[in-house]
Amino acid sequence: MAILEIRNLSKNYGKGENQVKALKHIEFQINQGEFVALLGTSGSGKSTLLNIIGGLDTAAKGEIKIQGKNIAKLKAKELAIFRRRNIGFVFQNYSLMPVLNVYDNVALPVSFDRGRHIDHAYIKQLLQDLKIWDKRTKYPSELSGGQQQRVAIARALANKPSLILADEPTGNLDSKTTNDVISLLKTSGKQYNQTILMVTHNEIIAQSCDRIIRIEDGFLLENGKDGGFYA
Ligand SMILES: Nc1ncnc2c1ncn2[C@@H]1O[C@H](COP(=O)(O)OP(=O)(O)OP(=O)(O)O)[C@@H](O)[C@H]1O
Ligand SMILES: [Mg+2]
């Protein structure tokens, strides 16, 4: 079943001479439980695409359906709730809250939902798996880039979202930690039947995913595993 459907998606930044066509008629679908790698050179439109799917930015044209819901039709408040309950986002720049410690940053998306209980054991497990449990009372400014990145990954997984959008989640990690993080994402994906769309520059990691989507200059170039297109 397609959990994510993108139809004829276009996005421009700016106007007139300065206009940048960041996405051009992008179309693809992702099925529930798939782990998809999003590849493309710097400036090709990867973050733009993730931000629009995650409801953080709006498209100029086209349609995005998540679990059959057209997200452009949701009111701001509905979108915020939908996003919090269903989407885990790992930002390229981490976007941690500087005034909260590691544990509270990770628990934040859950604690926003009044009445939802914070699964302490699960958060502890995530922080242990990501080897930052000993940093739980530290603040983001006291962490290295790679540690902050792992906090951002834990935060995205804390809610057990059905869709995980990860913008270069291993960009700042050494190869051993990168492999650990990819394994964690794969295990989590299998255990909770999560769909993952992950930006990476690493071709080897991309080849280990279920499918590769490649964009270049705002165009979809590849949608499949073998360099071809996927029906
Ligand atoms: N807020 C913005 N205003 C104007 N132009 C923007 C904005 N955000 C992105 N762009 C432009 O849109 C294009 C796509 O940018 P995007 O950030 O999506 O690339 P990317 O593939 O994520 O690159 P990277 O690998 O470097 O993160 C680029 O030409 C960029 O300069
Ligand atoms: Mg980017």
pLDDT at res. 114? 64
Give domain status of residue 140, yes or no.
yes
Which parts of the chain register pLDDT below 70?
114-115, 225-231
Please give the number of the atom of ligand 1 that sits closest to the Cα of 50.
18
pLDDT for res 229: 62
Q: Nearest residue CA, atom 27 of ligand 1?
A: 42
For the Cβ of 48 lying below 6 angstroms from any atom of ligand 1, the answer is yes
Domain membership of residue 51 (yes or no) is yes
Is there an atom of ligand 1 within 6 Å of 189 CB? no
Residue 45 CB less than 6 A away from ligand 1: yes
- Distances 124 to 96, 109, 134, 135, 180 between C-alpha atoms, Å: 18, 15, 10, 11, 16
pTM of the predicted structure, to 2 decimals: 0.94
Q: Give the position, in ligand 1's atom list, of the atom nearest the Cα of 218.
A: 14
| Span 127-140, pLDDT tens digits | 999 999 999 999 99
Q: Show the domain range for 57.
A: 2-224
Residue 61 lies in a domain: yes
Catalogue the E-assigned strands of the chain.
2-13, 20-31, 35-39, 61-66, 69-70, 87-90, 163-167, 195-199, 211-216, 219-224
Which pLDDT value is given to residue 132? 97
Looking at the 3D structure of the chain, how many domains does it have? 1
CATH number, domain of 52, equals: 3.40.50.300
**In this structure, is residue 90 part of a structural domain?**
yes
User: Could you tell me the distance, in angstroms and rounded to a whole number, from the CA of residue 114 to the centre of ligand 2?
Assistant: 32
What is the reported pLDDT for 99?
A: 97
